[in-house]
Structure 1
Amino acid sequence: MTLSDVDRFEAARPRLEAIAYRMLGSSSEAEDAVQETFLRWQAADTGRIEVPEAWLTKVLTHLCLNQLTSARARRETYVGQWLPEPLLTGDPMLGPADTAEQRESVSYAVLVLLERLSPNERAVYVLREAFDYPHREIAEILDISEAASQQTYHRAKKHVADGRARTEIDEAEARRIVEEFLAAATSGRTEPLVRLLTQDAAAIGDGGGKVPARARAFEGARAVATFLRGLFRPSDAKRALVGGSPDFYASTANGEPALVAVVDGRVIGITCLEVTPDGIVAVRSQVNPDKLDRATARWAAEGHEEAPLYAF
C-alpha cells in the first residue's frame, strides 16, 4: 500500500465515521467499522478500484449492516433500555449539518427512531437523507434495484416522521430551555415541570446495567415530573453512587438541548430534551459509562471554565 492510498483513506475517514455513527448509534462501534474498512482497503488491489469513495462506502455500509444484525440479538439481552450514544455539539462524527435534513437525521430523537427500522431501511435513510446519495448509487452500494432503494427510503422516512412536529433550536434557545428545565426539576415541586412537558411526555434512561436506570419508561407529564423531582433531590447516597458531587451544565447534544452532569471532569450523564412546539415530549438520559467516554474527552478538550448551573 502506498502513502497516497493511506492519504486517500484518511481523507475519507471523517465521512465514513459519520455514516457509521448514524448507522450504529455508537462512536466506538463506528470507529471499529471504519478501522475494519481500512484493513480491507489495505488488502485490496487499490490500483483496480476506479472510484475509491464508492468502494469504501460500500464496504463500510455492509460492515454496518452485519453489525446491526448482530446488535439486534445483543440488545435482547441488554440490561434495561438501550439508547444511542449522544455526541456533544461540534463532534466531527456528527457529520454534515448544512441542511435541515442533515441536522434532523442525526438528532437524538431520530437516532432513537432509527432503531425501529430494518438494517436496510436504516442504511438507505442515512445515505439518502444525511449524505444525499442518489438512489442509483445507493442501489449499487446495497446490491438492490434503484426502484427498491426509492421504496425503502419512502418507507423508512414514513417510520421516522412519526407524525410529530419537531423544533429546530439554536444554542441560545437550547440553553434557555435547559436552564428552565433544571430550575423546574430542582424546585422540589412537580407543577413547574408539568407545565414544561407535553401530556404524553416520556422519560427514559440507559444505564447498561452499570448505573441504576428504570427498565421501563415513565409516561405522562405528571409521572415524568414526579420522577424528575425525585431524581434531582440531592442525597449522600446519590453522591456516593456517582463518585462525588455532580455539576450540571447546559449544552447541546445531537442538535438537542442537553443537560450534562460532570464529576471531576468526567461526564457521568447526558440528558437530551426533545422539544416540540407544545413542549418537551421526551427526556432521554444516557448514564451508561461505556457510552460517555467520547463525550468526556470532548468536554475536557473544550475546557468549560464557566460556572455550573447547579451543583448537586
Structure 2
Amino acid sequence: MSPNALHDDTAGDGLARRFEVHRPRLRAVAYRMLGSVAEADDAVQEAWLRLQRTGSDGIDELGAWLRTVVSRVCLDMLRSRSSRREEPQGVHVPDPVVGPAEEPGPEQEALLADSVGLALLVILDALDPAERLAFVLHDMFAVPFDEIAALTDRSPAAARQLASRARRRVQGSAPRPDSDPAARRRIVDAFFAAARDGDVEALVAVLAPDVVLRSDGGTRRPAATVEVRGARTVASRAIMFSHMGPWTRRVLVNGMPGVVVAPDGVPETIMAFTVSDGLIVAIDALSDPDRVARLVPSLDTIRSDTDS
C-alpha cells in the first residue's frame, strides 16, 4: 500500500505521515543516484514497504534509516544495471524533470540549486556504482563518509577516495551552467530563432565549438538515437528540424531552459539545453515515445505532475 493513499485514521496512518515528511528528500536522493523517475519511485516505495514490515520501534533517526534503505536499494539497482551492460550501449538520456518555464516548482528549484542538469546525469551514468553513491550522498547531500563506508563495505578513507575519484571525473567532464536564468533562456531562444530562419551562422554563434547533441529515441525510434559533436554539425541538424518551431513549448528541464515538442498538443520530444559561458555546450533530447508519454502525458500535466 502506498503512503500516498493513507489519509484516513488507520493504524498505519501515523507511520505513513512520518514517512511522507521524508519522501521528497528520499526521492531526490534516488533520482540523482539512478537518473530515472520510475526507478527512483520504486526505490522509495521499497523503503516504505520495509518500514511497514519492521515498524519504527528501535529506529533512533527515521530519516537516516530511510536514507540508508533507499541508498542500498539504489546501489543494488546500479550494480544490476552495470552487470547487464555486456555490449556497448547507445546514447542514453536520463529521465528529465519537466516543469513550467515561468514558475519553477520546488523540485525544479532543488535541481537548479544543485545544478543537476541532464548533462551532469549523463556523466554520473558513466561512474562506477559505488563512486556514484559516494559522490551523490557526500557532495550533494553532505552524508558523512562513515555512513557511506558502511553502505559500500569499505573503510571511511576508501569511501572518501570513491567520492574524490567521482568528483574529478565530474569536474573534468560536466559543464557548469551559467547562473543567470534569463540569460540562459535568451541564448536558447536565439537558437530556435536561428533554426527557424535557417541561419547556420547565427546557430554556430550561440553554440560552443565542442557542443554535444545527444538524442535518445529509445528502442522504438532507433533512427532518432544519435550523438554528434561540433558547432557546425549540430547547427546542420538543427536546421533539418527547424519545422518543429510551431510545436514547441518553453519549459524548464531539470532547472535548465528547454522545450517540449508537441505536434497537435501531444508531447513527442523533450529537449534540455546547458548554457555555459554564454554558449550552448550540450543539448539533450528525449524522443523515446514510451518515456515521453510517461514523463509528460500531456501539456496540461506539466504543472501538476512536476510540481508535486
The bucket for the TM-score relative to the shorter chain is 0.7 to 0.9
Q: 1:127 aligns with which of 114, 118, 137?
A: 137
- 2: CA distance between counterparts of 1:87 and 1:178? 18
Q: 1:103 aligns with which of 114, 120, 140?
A: 114
Structure 2 counterpart of 1:67, which letter? M
Structure 1 counterpart of 2:61, which letter? V
Q: Which residue of 1 aligns with 2:194?
A: 184
Q: Which residue of 1 aligns with 2:165?
A: 155
The question of 1:28 aligning with 2:38 is answered yes
Taking a change above 3 Å as real, the CA distance of residues 290 and 75 of structure 1, as seen in their structure-2 partners, is farther
Note if contact 1:265-1:300 (Cα within 8 Å) is conserved in structure 2: no
Q: Which residue of 2 aligns with 1:42?
A: 52
The question of 1:200 aligning with 2:200 is answered no
- 2: CA distance between counterparts of 1:151 and 1:73? 23
Higher helix share: 2
Following superposition of structure 1 onto structure 2, how do residues 246-285 of structure 1 map, counting pairs within 5 Å? 247-277=247-277, 279-285=279-285
Taking a change above 3 Å as real, the CA distance of residues 193 and 111 of structure 1, as seen in their structure-2 partners, is same
Structure 1 counterpart of 2:145, which letter? H
Structure 1 counterpart of 2:117, which letter? S
Q: How many residue pairs align between the two structures? A: 290
Structure 1 counterpart of 2:282, which letter? A
Note if contact 2:98-2:252 (Cα within 8 Å) is conserved in structure 1: yes
Deviation at 1:275, TM superposition (A): 1.6
- 1: CA distance between counterparts of 2:163 and 2:261? 37
Q: Which residue of 2 aligns with 1:168?
A: 178
Taking a change above 3 Å as real, the CA distance of residues 171 and 297 of structure 1, as seen in their structure-2 partners, is farther
Note if contact 2:184-2:278 (Cα within 8 Å) is conserved in structure 1: no
Q: 1:65 aligns with which of 72, 75, 78?
A: 75
- 2: CA distance between counterparts of 1:132 and 1:138? 10
State the identity %: 37
- 2: CA distance between counterparts of 1:135 and 1:167? 28
Question: Structure 1: where are the runs of 5+ without partners?
Answer: 235-244, 305-312
**TM-score, L = length of structure 1:** 0.83
Secondary structure, in 3 states, of the residue corresponding to 1:205? strand
What's the C-alpha RMSD, in Å, of the aligned pairs?
Answer: 2.7
**TM-score, L = length of structure 2:** 0.84
Secondary structure, in 3 states, of the residue corresponding to 1:258? strand
Following superposition of structure 1 onto structure 2, how do residues 299-310 of structure 1 map, counting pairs within 5 Å? 299-301=299-301
Structure 2 counterpart of 1:50, which letter? D
Structure 2 counterpart of 1:154, which letter? S
Structure 2 counterpart of 1:5, which letter? L
Secondary structure, in 3 states, of the residue corresponding to 2:284? strand
Q: 1:53 aligns with which of 63, 86, 91?
A: 63
Taking a change above 3 Å as real, the CA distance of residues 163 and 293 of structure 1, as seen in their structure-2 partners, is closer
Note if contact 2:178-2:184 (Cα within 8 Å) is conserved in structure 1: no
Structure 1 counterpart of 2:73, which letter? L
Deviation at 1:264, TM superposition (A): 4.3
Secondary structure, in 3 states, of the residue corresponding to 1:48? coil
User: Once structures 1 and 2 are overlaid, which stretch shifts more, 88-97 or 144-153?
Assistant: 88-97
- 2: CA distance between counterparts of 1:211 and 1:297? 18
Following superposition of structure 1 onto structure 2, how do residues 3-22 of structure 1 map, counting pairs within 5 Å? 3-22=13-32
Structure 2 counterpart of 1:54, which letter? A
- 1: CA distance between counterparts of 2:181 and 2:165? 32
Following superposition of structure 1 onto structure 2, how do residues 284-295 of structure 1 map, counting pairs within 5 Å? 284-293=284-293, 295=295
